[in-house]
Chain A
Amino acid sequence: RKEVEQDPGPFNVPEGATVAFNCTYSNSASQSFFWYRQDCRKEPKLLMSVYSSGNEDGRFTAQLNRASQYISLLIRDSKLSDSATYLCVVAGSQGNLIFGKGTKLSVKP
Chain B
Amino acid sequence: DAGVIQSPRHEVTEMGQEVTLRCKPISGHDYLFWYRQTMMRGLELLIYFNNNVPIDDSGMPEDRFSAKMPNASFSTLKIQPSEPRDSAVYFCASSLVFGELFFGEGSRLTVL
B70: chain A residues within 8 A (beta carbon): none
Whether A96 contacts B103 by the Cβ 8 Å rule is no
Whether A94 contacts B56 by the Cβ 8 Å rule is yes
B41: chain A residues within 8 A (beta carbon): 101
A57 at the interface (CB under 8 A from B): no
Return the chain A residue nearest B91 by Cβ. A43
A27 at the interface (CB under 8 A from B): no
Q: Is the interface of B mostly helix, strand, loop or mixed?
A: strand
Interface residues of B in 87-112 (CB under 8 A from A): 91, 98-106
Using known A-B contacts A43-B91, A45-B103, determine if residue A32 contacts B43 with beta carbons closer than 8 Å. Answer: no
Q: Can you list 30 A-B pairs, Cβ within 8 angstroms, ordered by A?
A: A32-B99, A34-B99, A36-B101, A42-B105, A43-B105, A43-B106, A44-B91, A44-B101, A45-B103, A46-B99, A46-B100, A49-B100, A87-B43, A91-B98, A94-B58, A95-B55, A95-B56, A95-B98, A96-B33, A96-B48, A96-B56, A97-B33, A97-B45, A97-B99, A97-B101, A99-B42, A99-B43, A100-B42, A101-B41, A102-B42
Interface residues of B (CB under 8 A from A): 33, 35, 41-43, 45, 48, 55-56, 58, 91, 98-106
